Structure 1
Amino acid sequence: MPRTVKRKEYPLSMRLPEADIAIIDRAAALRGRSRTDFVRDAAVRAAEDALMETAPIRMSPAGFKAFTAALSEPGTAVPEMVELFERAAPWETGRSKKRG
């Protein structure tokens, strides 16, 4: 009696121009990944992003009221962020280190 084995992987085939393959291979090499792993990860990440953009956010009327109330409150400064934005960038101060 033959055993039924549930398939865990499915093939995906696509035709790409040589220039696309070259840039994918270059990026995959920079990441130390195979072309297949690189493309799979990129495709899954793009799919997750697309799904998250369309996922509805549900909350109770009381939760929505609390959410809008929180958005209506004045912002509070975060000291570390204030310091960061007040700090001059290295290229603005002339203190940037030149490597050569």
Structure 2
Amino acid sequence: MSSRADVVNVPKGAINLRIEPKVRQLIDDAAAMLGKTRTEFMIESAHRQAIEVLLDQRLFELDPDRFGDFVGALDRPPPPGPRLRALMRRTPAWRS
């Protein structure tokens, strides 16, 4: 796991966005209400949304019949191949 010092020393990149004036103003107003800069607001919002999207792909509910099928599939995993091994070595986005 990375320490805070590791994160601070990582060089930052840039993302350039084309945005309509009304949307930009809305973002600026919301950021100002929270006492944040536009950049802080957009990064925090995008980060939060990215985590939510990724978690939505990992957390799900099943009815009792489908749950039994799911557990059965877990009990019969496919043999590990190179893609599965690579996936299991990845650090989840919410931990980086």
TM-score (normalizing by structure 2):
0.50
Tell me, in whole angstroms, the C-alpha distance in 2 between the residues paired with 1:39 and 1:51: 18
Unmatched runs of 5 consecutive residues or more in structure 2 = 1-8, 61-66, 69-96
Provide the C-alpha distance between the structure 2 equivalents of 1:41 and 1:55, rounded to a whole number of angstroms: 21
Shift of residue 40 of structure 1? 0.4
* Correspondences of 1:1-100 after superposition (within 5 Å): 8-55=11-58
Runs of 4+ in 1 over 2 A off after TM superposition: none
1:23 CA displacement: 0.3
Deviation readout 1:37-88 (Å, 9 max, x if unpaired): 000000000000000001268xxxxxx89xxxxxxxxxxxxxxxxxxxxxxx
Which consecutive unaligned segments of at least 5 residues does structure 1 have? 1-5, 58-63, 66-100
Greater RCO (CA < 8 Å, at least 6 residues apart): 2
Count of aligned residue pairs for this structure pair: 54
Report the aligned-residue RMSD: 2.1
- Secondary structure at 1:15's aligned position in 2? coil
**Which structure's CA Rg is the greater one?**
1
